[in-house]
Amino acid sequence: MLTRTPPTAAVTISTPTAPPHWALLERELMRAIEAAIPPFFDRYFDERGYLKCFARWGALDGPDDAAENVTNWTDFYALGGSAQVLGLYRRGIEGHIRQYTEARTTVTKLGAGGMYYKEFPTSFDWVHNGEGYHCLFQEGLCEPWNPIWRQRICRFAGFYLPGDPDEPAEPNYDPKHRIIRSVLNGSRGPVLGRAEPVDWAGDPFEIEGRFTPGRGHRDFDDYLFHFETYRNVEGDIPLNLAATAMAFYAYAATGDPKYRKWIEEYSDAWVERTYANDGLIPANVGLDGAVGSGLGGGTWWRGVYGWGHTGGFYGLDEHGKPIPHHRPNFQHRTPYAFGNALLVSGDRKYVDVWRTVMESVNGNAKVEDGVTLYPRMYGEDGWYDFQPEPFDRGALAVYHWSQDRERDHALVASDPWVRFLDGKDDDYPVRKLSADLEQVRRKVELRERDTRSADMLLSEDPNGINPAEVWGLMQLMLGGLATRHVGVPWHCAVRYFDSERRRAGIPPGVASLVDHLSADEVGVQLVNLDPVHAKHLVLQSGAFAEHTIDSAAIDGERAEVGGSAVHVRLEPGAGARLLLRVRRFVNQPTVAFPWPT
């Protein structure tokens, strides 16, 4: 386990301040989430930590959805949530791993020996692998010295590293061609050849009169129809880059350069393919390493979750025909995967590549009736799914990483959070926190109304009732991207540690608000709502100490810092705004806390 020495720089905030409305709402939202999680756990989990549901394999209601019922709980603890929440997460995730290792399929071969092997999905796609284990990945933010977590994250990363003891007999990764060899990959290796719809949908089961699937499926035939366009799985797709999250956390925990080397090697392959394809990241690479071979059928755009992936079943239209759906999921996940390479290298080429993709897509806009329309999808007849807004998937991440107002600001200028950071919407924090509080209240109400027995619940059914509403807190407290539960490491301007309790998260009674971000500055307000006790915290630049704070100023008085973190003492009832001068992406990322452990 990597260790760090405590920061030597310190600042004291001693000016009394009236509690701001945003600060009171922030602490109330954290209190509400803490109060809502235990009864949610009691309602949907048994004493073993098993989810009370009909356990099955599948992309729509399988193991990943089951694990999502404790998702964001580790994020919440790392923000400052209670130890009880972390304890419930641990009961839930350990029970989950046992439950789905024991669970078997009969028709779907991928789960016949257990849906998990070595505590990981046997072979599935990175929409669902990332979503399901988001909470487990983020456990590294909470107690990174925990040997169980460290062994798991290194084992999981090893499934993709050539020569690793945990590499499957049929390797997931081909180092010669720098590809992950199938859309479906995991602890038992890749699925080569064509997949059947049951590989995605799971075993047949009764639906009518028992379950209410969330996508309008009436019977199991609708499940199978949903996955007709998911058969061609042999070869690589850009969505597989999401697998680098495991190697990132293994690197941040151990410092072993083999993890960084693999992240850069695999990411660089996709960077090169993108520029070779006129700035458009290709949707597939064959087993021979060539774009368009194998599952691509000679085209750069065809592939599961690719530029032309339109299909599925999302109810029936007025003529009784299945409603198709656009599913280019790589557009939502791949930008963050390049972010993993940025974190380990500091190289802005991983930002530039996705900017290039957005520019290339928007370069194919057309004008109809005087209105400029921008595409999202590409198929046999060229670009389609034109919309009046420019293609901006991944734009907020690119801007957050670059802080380049000239090149990247325009695409995100209308985002409410960006408007607040630009000084154009001072009421945003209060509105956002108030809305999140209402979401928690609504979810508690839904849970209290839910009277279904376990054998009438699919694993995804409680997902929308999970009260861990953390992403507004991520934005406002940390200046962080609201990435959602997709298996993405934190990307934030600052992070906090409680010096007195020696744990992750902001101390009780303290509120924070990042109100300004630029290429070399961070503005953050800190308030101690406790009128009796002083509070002590460590403010770190970046989630993984990847940035350096050169100095911190309070009311114009500047203190030199010269490190990735600074001690802050908050006197009772005191508050102030710190203006940090920073250098970004200059340190190797680490999950080690800012003191020896």
**Per-residue confidence of the chain (597 residues) as pLDDT tens digits?**
678 988 999 999 999 999 999 999 999 999 999 999 999 999 999 999 999 999 999 999 999 999 999 999 999 999 999 999 999 999 999 999 999 999 999 999 999 999 999 999 999 999 999 999 999 999 999 999 999 999 999 999 999 999 999 999 999 999 999 999 999 999 999 999 999 999 999 999 999 999 999 888 999 999 999 999 999 999 999 999 999 999 999 999 999 999 999 999 999 999 999 999 999 999 999 999 999 997 777 899 999 999 999 988 888 888 888 888 899 999 999 999 999 999 999 999 999 999 999 999 999 999 999 999 999 999 999 999 999 999 999 999 999 999 999 999 999 999 999 999 999 999 999 999 999 999 999 999 999 999 999 999 999 999 999 999 999 999 999 999 999 999 999 999 999 999 999 999 999 999 999 999 999 999 999 999 999 999 999 999 999 999 999 999 998 899 999 999 999 999 999 999 999 999 999 999 999 999 987
User: What pLDDT, on a 0 to 100 scale, did the predictor assign at position 200?
Assistant: 98
DSSP 507: P
d(CA 16, CA 574): 4
User: What pLDDT, on a 0 to 100 scale, did the predictor assign at position 315?
Assistant: 82
- Give the HSE-up count for residue 590: Cα atoms under 13 Å, Cβ half-sphere: 21
CA–CA distance from 237 to each of 312, 339, 401 (Å)?
19, 17, 24
Q: Residues 490, 141: contact at Cβ < 8 Å? A: yes
> Is residue 130 within a helix (H) or strand (E), and if so which, with residue range?
helix 128-132
Classified as helix, coil or strand, 20 is coil
Tell me the angle at which helices 244-254 and 257-276 cross, rounded to the nearest 10 degrees.
150
| First vs last C-alpha separation in the chain | 9
- Give the HSE-up count for residue 182: Cα atoms under 13 Å, Cβ half-sphere: 24
List the structure tokens of 339.
């972010």
d(CA 179, CA 167): 15
Domains and CATH numbers, the chain: 494-583 (2.60.40.1180)
CA–CA distance from 345 to each of 249, 408, 456 (Å)?
14, 21, 48
Q: How many helices (H) and strands (E) does the chain have?
A: 18, 20
User: What pLDDT, on a 0 to 100 scale, did the predictor assign at position 1?
Assistant: 65
What's the CA dihedral at 538, 544, 550, 554 to 10 degrees? Answer: -40
User: What pLDDT, on a 0 to 100 scale, did the predictor assign at position 111?
Assistant: 98
User: What pLDDT, on a 0 to 100 scale, did the predictor assign at position 22?
Assistant: 98
User: What pLDDT, on a 0 to 100 scale, did the predictor assign at position 59?
Assistant: 96
Q: Phi-psi bin for 180: left (phi > 0), alpha (psi -120 to 50), beta?
A: beta
